[in-house]
Each structure stands twice: as structure tokens, then as C-alpha cells.
Amino acid sequence: MPEVYESIEETWNKCLVKIEKKIPPQTFSTWFKPIVPLRIHDSKLVIQVPSRFHYEWIEEHYKDLFNNVFLDVFGFVPSINYTIALIENSFPGVNNYQEKPTITNELSLPTNTRLNDRYTFDNFVEGNSNQFAKAASLAVAEAPGKTTFNPLLIYGGVGLGKTHLTQAIGNFAVENGKAHRILYISSEKFTLDFITSIQNNSTTKFSKLYRSVDLLLVDDIQFFTSKERTQEEFFHTFNELQQKGKQIVLSCDRPPSELKGLEERLISRFTSGLIVDVQVPDFETRMAILQKKAEQDNIQIDNDIIVFIATNITSNIRELEGALIKLLAHASLNGEDISLDLAKRVLRDFIKKKNTPLTIEMIQRIICDYFRIKEDLIRAKTRKKEIVLARQLSMFLSKELTNYALKTIGLHFGGRDHSTVIHACQNIEKKIKNDKQFSLEIEKVRRKIELSV
Ligand code: ADP
Ligand code: MG
């Protein structure tokens, strides 16, 4: 049993020391270091993890490790309650997830700012795409309510750093004592809390809380659209805070002028301060972000691998991070080194090959993979039933999905001539017509092929 007066951090550190001995350093820094222990009581251990993915990964792969170590340290196996850093709660669809009994939302008002301290200006990588947004955010963080940037509205596509910047403002203000009462909330959570307060007859308490802060950070205001009563409530909150010279920071996934279903008076309030945007990062910024993440997590990763990821994953920063995490996860699970070859294999699905035209070889590969037959047999002379079927199907889908001439298709199947291809297509068409099961199967394969490009 741990000492009665031992803090949760001390106890947790004991667990970490034991865990660290049992797994590779990379696995440790990826999955265990980011965990924040919150408390232990009634044989329940409450820990905070950065994301839903993180939680699922631990549950799936490290449950036994946890149990062994806990038994060692606590003398019993506590049940684990996971809480997710609140940013995750701002996404729709997360409700299913919250229904899981092990998940609790531990963060309650008013003492908690709901900020996640991993979002700081220090670890925000600057580039052309976000320089201005960062400078404005920093200015606001240094003097909340005292600049003309009120409200500051940050907009941009998904995964480009809006939440990061919004929370960095809060974290900076906390750390440097720039504001007393700071609250971060997504507009979705604001809406849900407001509805709950209506149900509990506690709307006065709700209003008071939000109107008493010095710095209010509201993420993803697009969720306010079409929620009339919440908009009304937020309108009053907004006005009161602004009148008192308090700072408001908003984020949105599109320019406010494109917010349909939001009252005019709100849009005009939202756009009365400074509006900045975050854009898709360029290659250099993507490189810098990956390097920074690797450095932060203490991961040794060759430059050519970073170049590979930065070249192929271009849409947003969340995907960049996701790619890196996926790569690490594979490496640590299989005990492999992080190599370019591994990166190519692991990130295949991640990398959109939108510009690559579909080839006959690709179709052959997917079909052989699907039916678990060796690829060269499809081009050989074999007349084994299942191989003939796969061969004919490949010919049929090559004809359907590519622009190659029948002659060319035949050539790709061990130099068969175009009449063989015609025969194959007729045979498959007949089967599709007469065999429901078969036709469903073909649809599955076809979708697989279409998704591969
Ligand atoms: P958004 O809110 O715009 O959808 P997030 O702020 O959640 O995007 O960013 C997605 C992920 O990318 C987060 O983990 C965040 O820390 C990271 N990220 C975004 N921008 C940067 C940046 N400039 N430097 C470092 N990490 C970043
Ligand atoms: Mg966000």
C-alpha cells in the first residue's frame, strides 16, 4: 500500500518507474508519459489521457501491464477511470464514447479552466500559414481585454491549430498571471451545459458563471448555429463581458460571414474585433512541426522519414501528428526500428494517392489479396477454379474501371488475347446476374479498388 500521505503524483511516479522497466523507451514516452494522474479513491484510479485514441490504445494493449504494476504498487488492482483532455469533447459523435462507463468528465466548474497544458505558444510552430494568427494571439494573451483585438476570432479548416492557439492564450495568461478567471469551452459544451441548466432550473447560476470571467475562450462557434436560445444566452454573456473590458477569444471552422443559422447581431459582435485565419501549412512548416513533435517525445527519427511524411501528408496538422503516432505505435508494437520502409508500409492508407491513375496491376493486387491467392498465378497458365475466377474478375474490373483496351488488358494477364477478356467479362456478368451473393462480393471488391486511389 502506498503511504497515506503520499501524493497521487508520487504514487504515479512509482508506477511509471516500474512500467518504464518493462517496455521500450519509445513506447513509454508515447503512451505513458503523457498520462496525467488525477486521483485515487475508493479503489478507483482516475487518469487523464490526451485523446480517445490514446485511451483505446492503452486499453487494448497495456491493460495487463497496468494491472500488474498497480498490484505491485497499490497492493490491489484499482479500476481505471479515464478522462479525456476536454478538447476531444468538442467533437460531435463523442457521446457514444462518453457512454462508456469508464469515462467520466472530471473537469467541473468553476475552479477548472478546462485548459490542456500541452497547448502552449512554445510548442506552436510558426510558419507563413499561421504567423499572423499567432502574433495576434500572443498580443491578446499578454494583455487580455486591453487591446482592440476584442474579440479575437481565429478561423480556419480542421486540424490547423485553432484549438491549440485558443488554449495557448489561456495557458499563457494563467502562467503569467495576466487574468484571474479563465475559462475555455467549446460552443457545443456551452450549449449542452446551458440545456442542463434549463432542466435543473439553474440558468441564473449558469449565466453568472460565464459572465464572471476575465478571459473567455470559446472554441468552434460554428456549433452555435440554429440553437436560438443558446445564442441568446451567449449574446448577453458576450455583451456583459465586453462592457466590463473582459477578453473574448473565439474560434470557428469558417469565416464568420459564412455562418448560416447564426443571428446577425451575433455575427456583427463576433466580427467587431480582429479576425485572423490559420491556413494549410507549407512543406517547410510541416517539416518543422514533425521535427518538433519528434523532439518533444524524444523520438529518434531519420530526416528522410520526416521528409516522406511531410511530402505525402499535406492536408492538416492533425493528420501529420496522426501519421507520426501511427508510425510509432507500429514500431513499438512490433519492436521494429522506425525506417523509411516501415513508414511507407504503415502510412499507405494515410497517403492519398488521388493523382495516381488506377492500373491493371493494382486491380490484380487487390483482388489476389482479397481472395488470398498468389499474385503471379493470375498471370500464369493455371486453370484451377478459384484462380480462373479471380483472373476473370480482374479482367472484368480492369475493363470497367480503367480505360485500357481489351488487348492491353489481355497482355497483362500473361499475354492472353482480347477474346479471352471478352469471354471473361461475359462470364462474370452472367454470374453477377444469377448469383446474389457473388454480386455482393464483387461490389465489396470494387469498392476496395476504388478506395485505393
Ligand atoms: P483545430 O482546432 O484547428 O481543428 P488543433 O488546434 O486541434 O486544430 O490542431 C490539431 C493538432 O495539431 C493539435 O494536436 C495541435 O497541437 C497540432 N498543431 C496545430 N498547429 C500546430 C503548430 N503550428 N505547431 C505545432 N502543433 C500544431
Ligand atoms: Mg479545434
Domain ranges within the chain, ordered by starting residue: 8-92, 131-278, 283-354, 360-451
Amino acid in position 245 = G
Distance from C-alpha of 295 to C-alpha of 298, rounded to nearest angstrom: 5
**In this structure, are residues 270 and 153 in contact, taking their beta carbons and an 8 Å threshold?**
yes
Q: Are strands 44-49 and 36-41 parallel, antiparallel or unpaired?
A: antiparallel
Distance from C-alpha of 4 to C-alpha of 429, rounded to nearest angstrom: 75
Our answer on whether the CB atom of 160 is closer than 6 Å to any ligand 1 atom is yes
Domain 131-278 CATH class label = alpha beta
Our answer on whether the CB atom of 172 is closer than 6 Å to any ligand 1 atom is no
**In this structure, are residues 400 and 428 in contact, taking their beta carbons and an 8 Å threshold?**
no
Q: What is the CA radius of gyration of the chain?
A: 28
For domain 360-451, say whether CATH 1.10.1750.10 is its number: yes
For domain 8-92, say whether CATH 3.30.300.180 is its number: yes
Identify the residue whose C-alpha is closest to ligand 1 atom 4: 159
How high does pLDDT run on average in the chain?
86
Our answer on whether the CB atom of 409 is closer than 6 Å to any ligand 1 atom is no
Question: Which run of H or E residues covers position 354?
Answer: none
The 10s digit of each residue's pLDDT in 284-301 is 999 999 999 998 888 889
Question: Which run of H or E residues covers position 36?
Answer: strand 36-41
Residues 6+ apart with CB under 8 A from 360: 394, 398, 402, 404, 408, 409, 412
Our answer on whether the CB atom of 321 is closer than 6 Å to any ligand 1 atom is yes
- One CATH from 3.40.50.300, 1.10.8.60, 1.20.140.10, 3.30.1130.10 for 283-354: 1.10.8.60
**In this structure, are residues 55 and 36 in contact, taking their beta carbons and an 8 Å threshold?**
no
* Omega prior to 24 cis, within 30 of 0: no
Distance from C-alpha of 378 to C-alpha of 390, rounded to nearest angstrom: 7
Amino acid in position 105 = N
Tell me whether domains 131-278 and 360-451 share a fold: no
For residue 114, is it left (φ>0), alpha (ψ between -120 and 50) or beta?
left
pLDDT of 399 reads 92
Nearest ligand 1 atom, CA 126: 23
DSSP, residue by residue, 167-228: HHHHHHHHHTT--SSEEEEEHHHHHHHHHHHHHTT-HHHHHHHHTT-SEEEEE-GGGGTT-H
Strand ranges for 96-240 from DSSP E:
152-155, 182-186, 215-219
Q: Taking Cα atoms as reference points, which of 424, 417, 373 lies closest to residue 398? A: 424
* Strands of 44-49's sheet in order across: 36-41, 44-49, 79-84
Residue of 290, 317, 319, 325 to mutate, ligand 1, most atoms within 8 A of C-beta? 317
Our answer on whether the CB atom of 130 is closer than 6 Å to any ligand 1 atom is yes
**DSSP 8-state class, residue 29:** I
pLDDT of 364 reads 94
Nearest ligand 1 atom, CA 219: 2
Nearest ligand 1 atom, CA 292: 25
Distance from C-alpha of 315 to C-alpha of 349, rounded to nearest angstrom: 14
CA quadruple 371, 377, 383, 387: dihedral, nearest 10 = 10
Distance from C-alpha of 395 to C-alpha of 288, rounded to nearest angstrom: 46
**In this structure, are residues 173 and 120 in contact, taking their beta carbons and an 8 Å threshold?**
no
Phi, psi of 152 (to 5 degrees): -95, 130
Q: Taking Cα atoms as reference points, which of 173, 185, 245, 171 lies closest to residue 220? A: 185
C-alpha 241 – ligand 1 centre gap (Å): 28
Helices (H) and strands (E) in the chain, counts: 20, 8
Amino acid in position 199 = Q
Which residues, given as ranges, of the chain have pLDDT below 50?
1-4, 87-111, 354
pLDDT of 40 reads 81
**DSSP 8-state class, residue 24:** -
How far from chain centre, in Å, is Cα 331? 20
**DSSP 8-state class, residue 348:** T
pLDDT of 293 reads 92
**In this structure, are residues 451 and 373 in contact, taking their beta carbons and an 8 Å threshold?**
no
DSSP, residue by residue, 323-387: HHHHHHHHHHHHT----HHHHHHHTTTTS--TTSPP-HHHHHHHHHHHHT--GGGGGS----HHH
Identify the residue whose C-alpha is closest to ligand 1 atom 1: 159
**In this structure, are residues 321 and 54 in contact, taking their beta carbons and an 8 Å threshold?**
no
